[in-house]
Amino acid sequence: MTTAAEKVQARITGTGSYLPEKILTNADLEKIVDTNDEWIVSRTGMKERRIASDDETNSYMGTEAAKVALKEASLSVDDIDLILFATVTPDYMFPSTACLVQKNLKATNAAAFDMQATCSGYIYALATAKAYIESGLYRNILVIASDKLSSFIDYSDRSTCILFGDGAASCVVSGSGKGLLISNAALGADGSLSDIIKVPAGGSRKPASIETVEAKEHYIKMEGREVYKHAVRRMEAASLESLRQVGITESDISYLIPHQANLRIIEGLAKRFQIGKEKVYVTIHKYGNTSASSCGIALHELMNEKKLDLGKRILLVAFGSGLTWGASVLTVTDK
């Protein structure tokens, strides 16, 4: 019988990310849509975003991010038992993008499946990996969150085309080793608000047709004001619940990594928590909103830029279509 002292605790032992080389600046957008740099920066905080080429498929980006995480975790693909791929922009409806990554990596020992929680995907995937690891079902899980949102953007719609970019994040979640303990995960959803961010066509409810293509229903549609209103409130609630579960307060957090959707949302959340700007890790000016990979890309950059002492805590929090939201406290550990 397992004692409390022997209980397995899931932790991130390696992180990774991948960002396409092509940069789409605000100046570039000025040439294709009625907007300007001052308008974009003042309302979103974004200055540029990365755009994947035709060859940089979602599975390719996820694979490259996974290679970095595996190297940081000092594991081979043969050590991986499961691949979780969080995305809203799969290469195909089926097979799963996780299976394509398994093929790319030659990770023949791993089960593989996709999961969809939009911009909350990284945190939902961490929660799922934590449950699998701590149940004893798997030893090492490769978590990938990746989206090629440029494939679903209408570049004549200035309300959405300025917001999104492409990118991938990954991490290895294991039951032992130094890294970041996944101390908890507080998840939530509200399907009654599913219409405020969506791609209307392309699923089984409204399959692709000449009419759906002509109506541009395969692109992201968003009610910006409604999104903003719910985003701050839901992320605040998830963060408070996450802190409550761990038994700490916001003063115990060394860094806050919020979903990089809009700088105003990030600043609003930090203000409610009374967290100083120096503790809020921001990448939105460089990459825009990369959906599921947003928090993971920021976490990888933070871990490679900062030296965090044992016991330091990072709070991840995200919000996305669905609606979905989630938060998780990560704690630096050496065992």
At 114, which helix (H) or strand (E)? strand 111-115
Q: How far apart are the first and last CA of the chain?
A: 22
Element (H, E) at 326: strand 324-333
- Omega into 302 within 30° of 0, i.e. cis? no
Residue 289 known to be catalytic: yes
Q: Any idea of the CA torsion for 150, 302, 143, 314, to the nearest 10 degrees?
A: -120
Active site residue 259: yes
Buried b (16+ CB within 10 A) or exposed e, 299-320: bbbbbeeeebeeebbbbbbbbb
DSSP conformation class of 16? E
User: H-type helices in 74-120, by residue range?
Assistant: 97-105
* Cis preceding-peptide flag for 95 (omega within 30 of 0): yes
Task: Single out the catalytic residue among 184, 230, 289, 295.
Answer: 289
Picking from 186, 295, 189, 190, the residue whose alpha carbon sits closest to that of residue 241 is 186
Of residues 140, 161, 230, 259, which has the active-site annotation?
A: 259
The DSSP code sequence of 21-37 is S-EEEHHHHHTTSS--H
Q: How crowded is residue 2: how many other Cβ atoms within 10 Å of its Cβ?
A: 8
Q: Are 198 and 221 in contact (CB under 8 A)?
A: yes
How many whole angstroms separate alpha carbon 122 and alpha carbon 17?
A: 12
DSSP-derived 3-state class of residue 306: coil
To the query of whether residue 285 is one of the catalytic residues in this protein, the response is no
Token pair 């990030």 is found at 266
CA 87-272-291 angle, to 5 degrees, is 10
Secondary structure class of 272 (helix, strand, coil): helix
- Tokens standing for 268? 């609003």
Active site residues: 119, 259, 289
